[in-house]
Amino acid sequence: MDKTLGGTCVNVGCIPSKALLTSSEHYDFAQHAAAAHGIGIGSLTLDLPTMLQRKDEVVAQNTRGIEFLFRKNKITWAKGRGTLRPGNIVEVDAAGGAGAPPAEKIATYQAKDVIIATGSVSIELPFLKFDEKRVLSNIGALTIPQVPKHLIVIGGGVIGLELGSVWKRLGAKVTVIELLPTILPGMDADIIKEAEKAEAKRLDEMATLLFARE
C-alpha cells in the first residue's frame, strides 16, 4: 500500500526517472558539450545526494498536487486494504486506528462503477532476487547512493534504457543485456533504429549494448 497518491508512475516510475534524466543530461552537457558553446565550466563536480534529493522533491510536488486535486474535487481517499464485494461494494480494512475493534476498522463504499487499478511490480529472475543493494529493481536503481563502476541492465526496454542512460552520463560503465534481437522489443521498427543509434553513442560501445541470444 503506497503512502502517497500517484501509483507507480509518479512515485517510482516516469516522474523520478525523468527527473534524473534531466539532471544527468545537464551534467553530461556541462562535461562534454559546454566548451563547444563557449561556456567554460572549470572544475566540474557531481553532487549525487543533491541530485537524488531534487528527484525526491519533484516526486513530492507531484503527489501533493494530486492530493490537492482530490480535495478540490471532493474525492475521498480511503487508506487501507480494499476488498471488492458483490454489488460494487468496496470494503477498506485498517481505516480505523491501531487496536480499534474490527467493526471500526472497516469502511464501506459503494458506487455505480468501480475501477481496479492495481499498478505494477518488477519481475524478479528466479536466480537474482532483489535486495535493492546489489540486485536492483527499478525502485532501487532510482536511489543508488554512489555512481556504480559497472551497471548491468537486464532488459533493453524503456525503463532499463532510461536508467542505464542516467548512470552512464554520471560516470558508470553500463551494459544492457537483451534476449531479443533488438532493444525496445515490440516498438515500431523506425523508433528502434533511431534508439539504437542514440544508445550506441550513450553507452560504452554498442559495445556495451549486448544482445544475449540462445
- At 154 the three-state DSSP class reads strand
Residue whose C-alpha cell is 566540474:
44
Q: Start-end ranges of CATH 3.50.50.60 in the chain?
A: 138-211
- At 128 the three-state DSSP class reads strand
pLDDT, residue 123, reads: 87
CATH of domain 138-211: 3.50.50.60
Q: Start-end ranges of CATH 1.10.287 in the chain?
A: 7-72
Which strand (E) or helix (H) includes residue 84?
A: strand 81-85
How far, in Å, are 31, 155, 166 from residue 26 at the CA level?
9, 26, 11
Q: Which three cell numbers stand for residue 106?
A: 472497516
Q: How many CA atoms, within 13 angstroms, populate the side-chain half-sphere of residue 202?
A: 25
Neighbouring C-beta atoms of residue 125, cutoff 10 Å: 9
Q: Phi/psi of residue 3, each to 5°?
A: -85, -15
pLDDT, residue 104, reads: 58
- Residue 181's nearest CA partner among 201, 166, 196 is 196
CATH of domain 7-72: 1.10.287
pLDDT < 50 regions, the chain: 96-101, 205-208, 210-214
pTM for this predicted structure? 0.84
- At 49 the three-state DSSP class reads helix
- At 145 the three-state DSSP class reads coil
Which strand (E) or helix (H) includes residue 209?
A: strand 209-211
